[in-house]
Amino acid sequence: MIVSRSVIHVDMDAFYASVEEKYNPSLKGKPIIVGGSVKNRGVVTTASYEARKYGVHSAMSVFKAKKLCPKGIFLPVNMARYKEVSKEVHNIFKRYSKLIEPISIDEAFIDTTGRDPLFIAKKIKEDIKRELNLTASIGISTNKFLAKLASDIEKPNGLTIIREEEAIEFLKPLPIRKLWGVGPKTERQLHKIGIYTIGDLQDYDIKVLVDRFGKKGREMSYFSKGIDNRPVEIDITTQSIGEEETFREDISSVEILIQKLQEYSLNLSHKLEAKGYIARTITVKIKYEDFSVETRSSTLYIPTNDYLTIYSTSINILNNKFNSCKKVRLLGLAVSNFIYPNDPVQLSFPTK
């Protein structure tokens, strides 16, 4: 008997802002904006739902957020605190499954195949609320793409199920940007060939998509029909793991890039810790306004999963190995060259 895969995606609600409320209850119900300072031209890392009502969103400049929400409470990023709470959240996940794939500090996939995913989802939400006084939105489905999509349907504190037989009709009216892997550039390319909704993509000839987009075209076609065969991965089987973002507007501020590297470093550190690996090599990738791409790496003397080490190394790479005269369209950070902490380590000198 073949048992259908069951996956839940847990996404903490406005995590950084909610953690700030947890430690300072007087902030409850107020427009909280966490990010870099206005003076340093930083960006918003996250905003409470009260602040989002004013149009504030992540990756927006703090300067613009201040204009939209002048009465907002602006707080600096406290990575050490968020990491501590994140560990508590993920400890709750471990009570209900050994198959957990962390996506970032505040979200994860959990494989619940063969058990009752709705019961587990409710228990996780109850535990998070009772023990941490935080809320999470959870999506349930037969694969990672649909589960992640479901968790975003009813926020905050939502619980949504997308059943396999409902997937095609559910996806049909959604804008194409809701498809996993479709960023601003791909969205524009799809618009040019008349694809605006996921339903439009469902009806498109897969051969044409593969000719135009390669392997990604086939993947997008499958996703549009609710097909995603990727397992929940508890081990690193790829050569590297990374975070990257294409900005809505080209970035000229080094302070903004540094703040994004801080966020990426925390997420990568969390993934490494959850998977039980340490990494030797740290790589920064930049795509400039002229679409040229550069990647620069540094191999550490002592492998690490430490957030501050990854962060400081990435800043050093950024400041010393890139063209600061060009605006940045995309920024990425990756770690690679993995080993287990208990494996014998052959030390190597850092690359120059």
Query: Tell me: the pLDDT tens digits for 87-103?
Result: 999 999 999 999 999 88
Residue 351: the pLDDT is 45
- Residue 352 placed within a domain: no
Q: What is the pLDDT of residue 252?
A: 85
The reported pLDDT for the residue numbered 348 is 45
Question: Which residues constitute the domain of residue 250?
Answer: 240-339
Global pTM reads: 0.79
Cα separation, 241 vs 86, in Å, equals 19
106 annotated ligand binder: yes
Asked if residue 11 belongs to a known ligand binding site, the reply is yes
pLDDT of amino acid 248: 78
**How many domains is the chain partitioned into structurally?**
4
Given a contact cutoff of 8 angstroms between Cβ atoms, the answer to whether 98 and 276 are in contact is no
Which residues are paired to 339 by β-bridges? Answer: 278
Claim to verify: residue 332 and residue 247 sit in the same structural domain = yes
Of 54-63, 97-106, 236-245, 283-292, the range with the lowest mean pLDDT is: 236-245
Residue 40 and residue 74 in one domain: yes
Task: Specify if 230 maps to a domain.
Answer: no
Query: Whole-number mean pLDDT of the chain?
Result: 89
Q: Confidence band (pLDDT; 50, 70, 90) for 346?
A: very low
Written as six digits, the tokens of 128 are 């998070």
Q: How far is CA 6 from CA 74, 144, 161, 346, in A?
A: 40, 9, 11, 41
Q: What is the DSSP string of 98-116?
A: S-EEEEETTEEEEE-TTS-
Answer yes or no: do 140 and 182 share one domain: no
Q: Which residues are catalytic?
A: 107
Q: Please write the tens of the pLDDT for every residue from 285-317.
A: 999 888 888 999 998 888 899 989 999 999 999
**234 belongs to a structural domain:** no
Q: What is the CATH number of the domain that holds 55?
A: 3.40.1170.60
Domain final position from 25, 47, 78: 78
